[in-house]
Amino acid sequence: MYKDHVVVCVIPARGGSKGLPGKNIKMFCGKPLIAYTIEQARQSEYIDRIIVSTEAEEIARISLEYGAEVPFMRPMELAGDSSSTVDVLVHAINWLETVDQYAFDILILLHTTTPLRGVEDINKSITLMVEEKADNVFSVTEAHRNPYFNMVEEGSNGFVMLVKEGCFSTRQAAPKVYDMNASIYVWWKNALKEGKKVFLKQTKAYVMPKERSIDIDDDLDFKIAEFLHNNI
């Protein structure tokens, strides 16, 4: 519990994956990938409950083995390629409130595909939202490319131009921009239920270093993440 706030962690982990089949439970440095996220959540001093939302029996079994709860199976209509993560979270909130009669204040989403995050990243994201009185927080890392300096788009005439207008001689001189690293998302529960989106009126970003920000989407990402896990 963070002071007077009850915190629930939801880990979405569906069985289907086009980029890397079975990635949520693929063996990563000796353990199923999802185990790392569950263990990080368990080590957080602020998280009260850890819920895995899945439609897959094998993912549910492994999640229970590593200490998470799987109090419900995710409906199949929320387990497709086009299913919204926010809808999955709202489903979990509604189940906890109506079926489990469980009262809580903060929801944190942790994706299984970013296993290199640290427990301190989780804790600091929660404290940032509470202390800055934000509606929500999500994690980012400094972007390698900058739309003011070296990112271009093609116009209707077929010629390219900078994505953002500006005149900067170096990338360092351009406004700093960030990549959303798909690792940590924290909302006040009611703000998520009402807004049902990531960008709210008062959204803050928690900055993580590049080496803890890799998001596994395909086999190359998986190999890079394993290399970083073993060498940093």
Domain annotation for the chain: domains and CATH numbers = 7-141+179-231 (3.90.550.10)
Which tens digit of pLDDT belongs to each residue from 1-60?
456 899 999 999 999 777 788 999 999 999 999 999 999 999 999 999 999 999 999 999
Q: pLDDT of 70-88, one tens digit each?
A: 999 999 999 988 889 999 9
pTM of the model: 0.94
The predicted-structure confidence for 104-132, as pLDDT tens digits, reads as follows 999 999 999 999 999 999 999 999 999 99
HSE at residue 207, side-chain half, CA atoms within 13 A, is 5
